[in-house]
Amino acid sequence: MKRVKTAKGRKVSSTRWLERQLNDPYVQRAKAENYRSRAAYKLLELDEKFGLLKGVKAVVDLGIAPGGWSQVVRRRTPQARVVGIDLLPTDPLDGVTILQMDFMAEDAPGKLREALGSEADLVLSDMAANTVGHQQTDHLRTMALVETGLEFAREVLRPGGAYVAKVLAGGADNHLVAELKRSFATVKHAKPPASRKDSSEWYVVAQGFKGAPEQAS
């Protein structure tokens, strides 16, 4: 195991983070395979389990920075059109339209739809709310992102499409699961191996979109 010498002025928590990065096989693999982040392997593993990227032609990546998930989409389905959004700057990616703005802004969904120019096969959300350290508050903030992502997915997905979103430990709450089941044929929770064991993140995977609310039975 590689150790990091405690530098003057560096917090113990920062030293631990550096050590974890240096000894993380996914970080090393991401560098070797030219992925922007280890998060790419979360989507690769979810795709292996659920077949998310099979035949997709239009994908929306909510919380795209630094771009690892969109890299996976482009490598697995080079023909797919990809539109991403993030408040943080994201270096350009070939074949990907990137909007630097807050997804929660009123005009964001419209701009995403305009950039996409068609219905989507898949809406991905690796968005995470800024945590404040208060478990209930952090959970509510994250659920708000997931629910807003779901509203957007209902507007842009073609029938049969899928929505994947990051949730916290315990998964989506009962209300959200019920909403997802109203709109999708299957709703499952998954924690891909690339998600660190000590991380509270899980993903909700909703597949088989039944159609926009006014069309859904």
Question: What residue numbers does the annotated binding site cover?
Answer: 67, 69, 86, 102, 126
Say which amino acid occupies 159.
P
* Rounded Cα–Cα distance for residues 34 and 48 (Å): 20
Edge-to-edge order in the sheet of strand 184-190:
96-100, 81-86, 58-62, 120-125, 157-168, 201-209, 184-190
* Integer Cα distance of 98 and 71 in angstroms: 13
**What's the CA gap between 177 and 161, in Å, rounded?**
17
Catalytic residue among 42, 166, 191, 210: 166
Q: At what angle do helices 25-32 and 40-50 cross, to 10 degrees?
A: 90
Binding residues for S-adenosyl-L-methionine: 67, 69, 86, 102, 126
- 31: annotated active-site residue: no
Active site residue ranges: 166
